[in-house]
Amino acid sequence: MRAIKEWWTFWKLTVAGTVLICFNTAGAQAQYSITDLGTLGGDNSVPYWITNTGDVIGISETGAVDNGTPPAPIQHAFRWSKGKMQDLGTLGDVNSVGLGGNDEGVAVGDNWYTVNHALLWYNGSVADLGTLVGPGGYSWAQQINNARQIVGGSAAADGTSHAVVWNHGVISDLGTLGAPGSSLYSLANGINDLGQVVGDSQEDNIANPLLGFPPFFPTIWNQGVATKLGGEPSYTVGGDGYNINNKSQVVGRLAVGDPVEGLVSHAYFWEAGVMQDLGVPFGDDNSEALSLNKNGDVVGDSGVGFIFGYNLNHALLWRDNMWIDLNTVSPSGSGFYLIQALDVNARGEIVVCAVNVDTGNVHAALLSPQPANLTPGNSGNVHQAPPLSASAQRLLTLVRAGRGGRPKH
C-alpha cells in the first residue's frame, strides 16, 4: 500500500505561467512564539493539521522498530492537545498516521504495514472506515469537516483508486472527471463545512507526451459532481487541489517549466473561477500552498530542485499579497529552522516542520500569534535550511511521497 501511495506523487504535474511577487523578510508582520510539540519517543515528528480549537494531528516515530529488513522506525498517529502529545495507536497494525481532524475532537487517517485502511479516532476508540471493495481493499481518510463528513481515497472495483466520501459511516465513490467505466484515478484531499470537496482526478486515458501517462487535474466536487478547476494561468499537464475553506477558496500547486530543473512547482490560490499563481519567493524555484484558513491566509513551503522531492528551504505564509518567511517572524535563539508550514487555523495558529539546528531531526511545532509590538525575531541565515539527520530525511521522504503534494506517509 505504501508503494501505491508513493506512486501518486510521481503522477501529478502541473503547468502554469509565472507572476511577479513580493517576499517579506522584515519584522513588520505579526510575530509568533514557537512551541516544540515533541515526539512519541522517537527522533522525529510531523504535524499535518491543526483544528480551530488548537488540537494538532500528525505522525511521530515511537522509538520502536518493525521487523522489516532492514528494520524501520515505527510511526504512530498523534493528537497534541493542551501541551500533551497522545499516541492514537493503530487498529492491529504496525504504523498509523493522523491526517486531519475537526473541532469536535475527531481525528482521521489510516494505518499500514499489513492492513491499509482508513481510521477514525474519537474519545479513546478507533474505528475502521472500510473501503469501496471490502476488507481486502485499501483506503485512507484525509480530512473530516464539522458535519463529520470524511474524504479520502479507496481502491475501486476497476483496479484504480477513487476519491471517496464517508457520510454517517457509509462510503461513497465520488468518481472522476471522465466517463463512468473509463478506469481513471482520483483522490480527495480536503472538504469544507459546506460539503465541497477538492482533490485531483484524471479526465481521460490519453498520455501527455511530456509525462508518458494521463495527467491529473485539480478537481472540485459539488454535491458529488466533479468539475476541473478553471481560470488563468492555463495549465495542460494537470495539477493538485489540496484544501478548501468555507468561502470556497482553494489552494494547491501548479507545475512550471524551468530551464534548470525541467519542471518546478508553484503555489496557487483559486477563487470563483480565477486561478492565481502565487509564484516562488527568494531565489527558490519551487513553492506549494498546502492549506488555508477562513481569512484566506495560505501556508506552504518553498525550496530548490525538481518538482518531485525538492529540498525544503522555507516555511511560508501568504498574507496581504506577499510571501512571508516564517523564520523571520519567529523567535531568535529557538534552536529551530522552519522548513514547511502545513496548516493554519481560524486563530492564525500555524503548524510547521521545525529542524533542530544541532541534531538535524525534525519536530512538529506550533507557531502562535503574539502582540504586534513583540520584538521582531531573527532566525539568522534564512537562505538555506540546515542539514537533516538521516532519520529525519527518511521520515520526510515518506511523508512527502504520498497522496497529492501535501505531505503524507
Report the CATH number that the domain containing residue 336 is assigned in CATH.
Answer: 2.130.10.150
Cβ neighbours of 174 (radius 10 Å): 22
Q: What local confidence, expressed as pLDDT, does residue 57 receive?
A: 98
HSE of 133 in the Cβ direction (CA atoms, 13 Å)?
15
Rounded Cα distance between 256 and 15, Å, is: 5
- Domains contained in the chain, number: 1
Please indicate, yes or no, if residue 229 is contained in any of the structural domains: yes
Please indicate, yes or no, if residue 403 is contained in any of the structural domains: no
Residue 394 DSSP SS3: helix
Question: Which value, to the nearest 10 degrees, does the dihedral of the CA atoms of residues 308, 18, 217, 261 take?
Answer: -20
Name which of 171, 81, 165, 95 is nearest 124 in CA terms: 81
Please indicate, yes or no, if residue 38 is contained in any of the structural domains: yes
pLDDT tens-place values along the chain, 409 residues long: 333 333 333 333 222 233 334 445 444 455 999 999 999 999 999 999 999 999 999 999 999 999 999 999 999 999 999 999 999 999 999 999 999 999 999 999 999 888 899 999 999 999 999 999 999 999 999 999 999 999 999 999 999 999 999 999 999 999 999 998 899 999 999 999 999 999 999 999 998 776 677 888 899 999 989 999 988 766 777 789 999 999 999 999 987 878 999 888 999 999 999 999 999 998 899 999 999 999 999 999 999 999 888 999 999 999 999 999 999 999 888 999 999 999 999 999 999 999 999 999 999 999 999 976 544 444 444 557 899 999 999 999 888 875 333 333 2
Residue 314 DSSP SS3: strand
Q: Locate 252 and state its grid cell.
A: 494547491
| Contact criterion met (CB below 8 Å) for 303 and 310 | yes
Cβ neighbours of 292 (radius 10 Å): 24
CA separation (Å) from 333 to 313, 337, 356, 357, 394? 19, 10, 11, 10, 27
Q: What local confidence, expressed as pLDDT, does residue 238 receive?
A: 73
Residue owning grid cell 481521460: 204
Return the beta strands (E) in 82-149 as ranges.
84-87, 95-101, 107-112, 118-122, 125-128, 139-144
Phi then psi for residue 161, to 5 deg, are -115, 140
Q: Which domain holds residue 34?
A: 2-398
Please indicate, yes or no, if residue 212 is contained in any of the structural domains: yes
Name which of 225, 234, 128, 241 is nearest 191 in CA terms: 241
Q: What is the pTM of this model?
A: 0.90
Q: What local confidence, expressed as pLDDT, does residue 211 receive?
A: 66
CA separation (Å) from 372 to 29, 189, 234, 298, 337? 8, 34, 39, 20, 22
Cross-strand pairs, 251: 243, 269
Please indicate, yes or no, if residue 407 is contained in any of the structural domains: no
Please indicate, yes or no, if residue 295 is contained in any of the structural domains: yes
Relative to beta strand 107-112, strand 56-65 is: unpaired
Q: What local confidence, expressed as pLDDT, does residue 337 receive?
A: 97
Please indicate, yes or no, if residue 147 is contained in any of the structural domains: yes
Please indicate, yes or no, if residue 408 is contained in any of the structural domains: no
Which residue type does 328 have?
A: T
Rounded Cα distance between 314 and 322, Å, is: 14
CA separation (Å) from 279 to 230, 258, 265? 18, 13, 9
CB neighbour class for 16 (10 Å; exposed up to 12, middle 13-18, buried from 19): buried
CA separation (Å) from 298 to 15, 291, 372? 21, 6, 20
